[in-house]
Amino acid sequence: MALCLSQVFNKDKTFRPRKKFEPGTQRFELYKKAQASLKSGLDLKTVVQLPPGENINDWIAVHVVDFFNRINLIYGTMSEFCTEKSCPIMSGGLKYEYRWQDDHKYKRPTKLSAPQYMCMLMEWIEMLINNEDIFPTRIGVPFPKNFQQVCTKILTRLFRVFVHVYIHHFDSIISMGAEAHVNTCYKHFYYFIKEFSLIDHRELEPLKEMTERICH
């Protein structure tokens, strides 16, 4: 069955878009520009490049929020297949296990099931992107000095969602007819993080072969 918008935006689902850009703001205009480029059929490698005259942190902020929403939705569409029983450990195959740490409730890396990890991850990212000290929305308010490091941490953890979904739930992606949609989102994400060197190459290892195949 093909993945449709009504499925993706089902209000009963736990995972759905949680952050929107306010109309009239510079960030909203940048978001519209990015979306227009995506829909124009341009090469994704070109789409992710910083537009002339734009601030790099604004550009990164727009994409981090957009990727959060998109990946949140992708996982939400297949969360029924990712259960405590099917995925008792948050992993990417036999070689990679991801433990959760947030310096609040989990001060040390802690084993969690994949559904628990995903829930903690989405709540943690939502908290960060709604924090005005980290993702300022008011004109004239500067980004913090560690802004790109925070974004690197967010994007690194979002990449792990792709790892888990591709390695453990690819059959479900295919059965829903969502393969092309997920692949396009992954390629967009991958070209963006490569363009701005936002994720350590070692983190990309679990999907290296697939990436070489679909990201030419």
Domains assigned to the chain: 57-215 (1.20.140.30)
63 is in an annotated binding site: no
* Residue 25 pLDDT > 80: no
Residue pair 155/195 in contact (Cβ under 8 Å)? The answer is no
The per-residue b/e assignment along 4-31, b for 16 or more CB within 10 angstroms, e otherwise, is eeebbeeeebebeeeeebeeeeebeebb
> What is the pTM for the complete model shown?
0.85
* Residue 58 pLDDT > 80: yes
The whole-angstrom separation of Cα 162 and Cα 75 is 9
* Residue 3 pLDDT > 60: no
> Please, which residues have CB within 8 angstroms of residue 154's CB and are 6 or more apart in sequence?
64, 68, 125, 128, 129
What is the per-residue pLDDT for 135?
A: 94
Of all residues in the chain, what percent carry a pLDDT higher than 90?
A: 66
Instruction: Write the pLDDT tens digit of every residue in 79-112.
Output: 999 999 999 999 999 999 999 999 888 999 999 9
Of all residues in the chain, what percent carry a pLDDT higher than 70?
A: 81
- Number of helices (H) and strands (E) in the chain: give both, helices first: 8, 2
87 is in an annotated binding site: yes
pLDDT band at 122 (very low <50, low <70, confident <90, very high): very high
